[in-house]
Structure 1
Amino acid sequence: MTRIVQIVPTIRPGSGVAGVAYALEREFAAAGAIVERFTLAEAGKRPGRSTGRTAIGNHLEGARNVIWFSTVGTRRARRFLAQRPDAVSICHNDVMAGDVYVNHGLLQAAMRARGHYAWRMVRNPVHLFTAVRDRIRYRGRTHRAIVALTSAEADLLVATYGRVRAPIHVIPNGVDIERFRPPDADERSRARSALGIDDERTVAVFVGHEYERKGLPLAIEGLRRATGITLVVVGGTPDMIRRAESEARELGVADRVRFVGTHDDPVPYLWAADALVLPSAYEANALVLLEALACGLPVVATRVGFAPDLVRDGENGHLVDRDAASVGHRLDELDRIDRTALRGAARATAEQYSWPEVARRYLDLVESLRAERGVRR
């Protein structure tokens, strides 16, 4: 019987690393594997008092968790795994233990993409800690295999660290194609009605919490060229939203930008939209691209992360340069054409990345590591 331990700070339904681990856990169990968790809770970490109160408090608590899980959590994870010698372990974040490490993003690449790299690294001690920790991770013998989410990310790992000791396997994230699906007419109408948008208006949706890195300013400025588009923005803190609202007013497009804040379920906003726009500077994977495609939305995205692997220009969306004119041009084009074929192609693309298929690739890797361990013994 295959036994798998997933090491990750939290596991829960939704997006992000926690959602990926949750989806894999479900599929591993469905395939007959014994699946266990090693999270902050199993490691004995109690939630900090500041969690959920303020943005600064949450940020500080997150920083403490990174350091705690990387140090104390590592020692406890090793003890946990030593008691399960037959298990193959998959680590998703922080802990310096596990047979497989899944690279969900490179800190250095993200900071370079945002500009002022040296200052961003120096002003945040956690960034420096993470950079040193991950250099030890990738250059040393901590893991037996590394999973990169895209071929571009695999290349970036080598470019960043010079040499990655463990073999790199490219396995993308997946999407729940039952939850993320095209809406019927009533579902679409209700989703738009909740936003106060009529059925005839062309809507682009942006989903993300890091406005600058993910390119929201470019999408907003692009509306000056795409005059028939309304932009719905999902995610962001109140301070970020206020700044973006001010930028939209200065550009004269504030009446066509709707900020809805952070929501656990993006489905209603994807159902209300006609396209996803994500002109990011850096992405390791960007699950929202898959989620949008699964909902039948063509995407307008830059050539980073998963986008070059997913987007066939002119068939299920468009790959654009990272400038407002390019983004605006493609949004305007989508506003003026019949999008029926694009919607069908978008859904067909997403169906190739269902979670059962992605989990099967992980299980193949797990079995190869089990066989290798047996040979060594």
Structure 2
Amino acid sequence: MKILIDHHQPFLLAHGGFRVQIEQTARALGELGCEVEYLRWWDANQKADLIHFFGRPPSGMAYFAHQKAIPLVISDLLTAQGSRGIWQIRSQCMARSVIEKVMPASLLDRMSWRVYREADAVVALTNWEARLFCQLYGTPKTRLHVVPNGVDEAFFMREETSESVDSSGEYLLCTATITERKRVLELAEAANLAGLRLLICGKPYSFTDRYFQRFLNEVGTPRSVVQYVGEVVDRGEMAALVRAARGFVLLSTMESQSLAALEAAASGVPLLLSDLPWARETFGDHAQYCGSRSTSRELAGHLTKFWHSPVIKPIRPSTWKEVASRLIDVYRSVLP
């Protein structure tokens, strides 16, 4: 089985979970015996049994793939849509229905809504997002599949604590891109107010970003109990940092299914997460939650409660090989 993987965003322009998902999926599929290549748009002679597109494909992609008798599978993240309230989702459904009736086809094609109905399979990370594909874009239920993110096997193994930080005391950990949606600045403010040691790993999309500069100012104050580690590339080192943490905290306003939270869960580290549908579905009663719009002072209270709470062990997530095995089942269901 030869699979071509495609994506619309060059990795050099934006890092994040989608890049990890794509790279780890490709690696795991290869380990399970699939022939995997990244789609070369300039190569008219490239062959494939199936195309797996990560993100929202161009509107005509399903049509042209089908002309070549190549099935199209889509994996997309409904990060913003999946974090909205029920009334916002209903309003969006109504708006889409009206727009599709009155807007010229040439303009509708630019939105690429139709591709979710034309693809041979659409893969969602959670049942919540699968329902949204149906409600918002009209994806047939028979073509929907739910396959979660996976976790690198390094996070399931026991290692020594990383030497890159002072590990003489307990700490909370947050791994995230330093951007407003992740609320890392507000988390740092809350940790300083609560006086609870916090390690933050990650980098911004731009080092000149104003939000990132405000974050640096907060963690750089003499009173700060927050340590900014930066990006940790080595998976073994990151796994050691996670395992040594007292708890993992992620307070995003929008999320699809956090890889960092899954990595913490694989390491058996307690979780404090924003109360969003993806988190409730993924971890249920095996995590603690707080409002995604809480103020820094309110968050300080949540952190203090989390710090002193009895340990709640999270459920075990899937490995990337387990994810790849489920994807192969999806591929076989659409191949002739």
Tell whether the structures are fold-level matches, with TM greater than 0.5. Answer: yes
Deviation for aligned residue 1:160: 3.7
Residue of structure 2 equivalent to 1:256 = 225
d(CA) in 2 for partners of 1:248 and 1:130? Answer: 46
1:89 is aligned to 2:32: no
d(CA) in 2 for partners of 1:218 and 1:303? Answer: 16
Residues 1-377 of structure 1 aligned to structure 2 (within 5 Å): 2-8=1-7, 16-38=17-39, 42-44=40-42, 79=44, 83-84=47-48, 87-93=49-55, 95-96=57-58, 97=61, 99-106=72-79, 132-138=110-116, 140-141=117-118, 143-161=119-137, 163-164=138-139, 167-176=143-152, 178-181=153-156, 183-184=158-159, 187-188=160-161, 191=162, 193-195=163-165, 197-200=166-169, 202-223=170-191, 226-236=194-204, 237-239=206-208, 240-247=211-218, 254-265=223-234, 266-304=238-276, 306-313=278-285, 315=286, 317-322=287-292, 323=294, 324=296, 327-337=299-309, 339=311, 342=312, 345-346=313-314, 349-350=315-316, 352-370=317-335, 373=336
Deviation for aligned residue 1:229: 3.1
SS state of the match for residue 4, structure 1?
Answer: strand
SS state of the match for residue 311, structure 1?
Answer: helix
Q: Which amino acid aligns with 2:249?
A: V
Q: Is the 8 A contact 1:245 1:254 kept in 2?
A: no
d(CA) in 2 for partners of 1:302 and 1:338? Answer: 19
Change (3 A) 1:109 1:337: closer
TM-score in terms of structure 1 length? 0.66
Q: Is the 8 A contact 1:90 1:100 kept in 2?
A: yes
Structure 1: runs of 5 or more not aligned: 45-75, 113-128
Bigger mean CA deviation after superposition, 233-242 or 211-220: 233-242
Change (3 A) 1:154 1:238: same
d(CA) in 2 for partners of 1:149 and 1:220? Answer: 29
Higher relative contact order (CA 8 A, sep 6+): 2
Q: Which amino acid aligns with 1:241?
A: F
Q: Which amino acid aligns with 1:318?
A: Q
Deviation for aligned residue 1:253: 8.4
d(CA) in 1 for partners of 2:19 and 2:186? Answer: 29
Structure 2: runs of 5 or more not aligned: 62-70, 86-106
Change (3 A) 1:253 1:203: farther
Q: Is the 8 A contact 2:21 2:149 kept in 1?
A: yes
- Percent identity, aligned pairs only, is 22
Deviation for aligned residue 1:325: 5.1
TM-score in terms of structure 2 length? 0.73
Q: Which amino acid aligns with 1:238?
A: F
Aligned pairs, how many? 292
d(CA) in 1 for partners of 2:277 and 2:84? Answer: 15
Q: Is the 8 A contact 1:150 1:306 kept in 2?
A: yes
Could you say what the CA RMSD is over the residues aligned between the two structures, in angstroms?
3.4
Bigger mean CA deviation after superposition, 299-308 or 259-268: 259-268
Residue of structure 2 equivalent to 1:49 = none
SS state of the match for residue 255, structure 1?
Answer: coil
d(CA) in 1 for partners of 2:179 and 2:223? Answer: 16
d(CA) in 1 for partners of 2:249 and 2:227? Answer: 14
d(CA) in 1 for partners of 2:186 and 2:109? Answer: 29
SS state of the match for residue 155, structure 1?
Answer: helix
